[in-house]
Amino acid sequence: MVTRSGRISRWCAVGLLLPLVAMADTAPSRAAAGWTASGCGREPAPPAVESGSVSQYNSSIDKVSAYDKAARAYSACVNRQAGSEQTAISNEARARMDVINAGAASVQRRIAGNFSALSAQLHSAGQKLGAK
């Protein structure tokens, strides 16, 4: 393990990235074919890790740390935008469903009213015929 004063070890660098790996989508084709977070800018590109020397390694740690920070910010932006768009879709769907539910309830009330009127008419007719 290579460390330097004030720097994280490679194990710590890996530890910082594990939560991001866990959040990663395992089906890239879904992301490529569908929705994108257009309000979040470009997704940060992961840096190349160079390990030819201690200096390159330490530079890689800095780059990975910067990527970690940028990737977390991008991921948070994506989550905010996705949540906002999902809420808008849900609200629109709920409004459309309310119209359908109101129409269906109106039909049910009308049919129930028709049956009540028919029942009253049949009852009245039955009493008239029963009196004869």
**What does pTM read for this prediction?**
0.57
Tell me the H-state helices in the chain: 10-23, 28-33, 54-131
Mean pLDDT for the stretch of residues 80-105: 97
- Residue-level pLDDT at 9: 55
Mean pLDDT for the stretch of residues 75-100: 97
Report whether 48 contacts 86 (CB < 8 A).
no
pLDDT tier at 130, thresholds 50, 70, 90? confident
- Residue-level pLDDT at 132: 67
Q: Locate 123 and state its tokens.
A: 């009852």
Per-residue pLDDT tens digits for 101-113: 999 999 999 999 9
Q: How many whole angstroms separate alpha carbon 1 and alpha carbon 83?
A: 41
Per-residue pLDDT tens digits for 4-39: 555 545 545 555 555 555 555 544 445 556 899 999
Q: Does position 77 have pLDDT exceeding 60, yes or no?
A: yes
